[in-house]
Amino acid sequence: MLSPRAPTILVFDSGLGGLTVFREIAKARPDARYVYLADDARFPYGRIPEAELTARVLAVIGDAIAAHRPELVVIACNTASTLALAQLRATFAVPFVGTVPAIKPACAGSRSKLVSVLGTEATVAREYTRKLIQEFAQGCAVHLVGSARLAAFAEAELNGASADDAEIAAEIAPCFVAVEGRRTDTVALACTHYPLLAARLARLAPWPVQWIDPAPAIARRVVDLIGPAAGPANGPATLLFTSGRMPSPTLSAALSEFGVHGSAAAK
């Protein structure tokens, strides 16, 4: 376990979906100093070739570690974690907590034994994800669903531009499978953007399911590594965009609900 003093924790994502993870971590360690780094200059990650993306993630994270000297780094992105987490751990001495599809708890909690994993096209195509299914399916039929647009819909929603219900419903429809009287009863959200749309996903689902958000488990892992809160709550987190953009008033208002404020550029 790391030092009990209030640590600096770096939370990284391709965009703003990792705020759903940050929110849970901040509840567990409100005393920590947080830096949220969004690689919006290359969002979305799904269309970037693997070798190029790995190099990008290592470079951006390396610069952030040098600038902010965190005690812990959380990769709040399934695509980056399934691709680059092992190399990050081999390259940098700081501890990392990754975000990977929550297949184990989804399958453990399913009664119908029909489980869907809803992620980006890149995440569901990873060999890492298929290995998780092999290891943790526990007799469940696991249906992989890659969405091309849902992360962008979530990102736009924070900026005040909501997608139509029909567009979201079309993205999640393949998750719902009926086989011989059984129906999908659990959907693992394998992109941290998707919990931003949680209320709409539940409303638009053809039938009720359990939606598995990995953020609470990630927060527990952070506490395992870095210990419980050691002091009073700290101030708001600093948000850095690799593009250097400043949040719009609409986005700034949304960010304030997560306890972050905007800063111009990643340094």
d(CA 259, CA 115) in angstroms, rounded, equals: 33
User: 4-13, 62-71, 90-99, 158-167 — which is least confidently predicted?
Assistant: 4-13
Q: Is 77 a catalytic residue?
A: yes
Tens digit of each residue's pLDDT (9 = 90 or more) over 166-214: 999 999 999 999 999 999 999 999 999 999 999 999 999 999 999 999 9
Task: Tell me what pLDDT residue 47 has.
Answer: 85
Please, which pLDDT band fits residue 2 given cuts at 50, 70 and 90? very low
Whole-structure pTM value: 0.92
Task: Tell me what pLDDT residue 261 has.
Answer: 84
Q: Yes or no: say if 32 and 59 are a contact pair by the CB < 8 Å rule.
A: no
Residue 94's Cα: distance from chain center in Å? 20
d(CA 26, CA 237) in angstroms, rounded, equals: 9
Q: Is 140 a catalytic residue?
A: no
Could you give all domains of the chain from N- to C-terminal order, each with its CATH number? 8-99+216-263 (3.40.50.1860), 103-213 (3.40.50.1860)
pLDDT over 50 at 3, yes or no: no
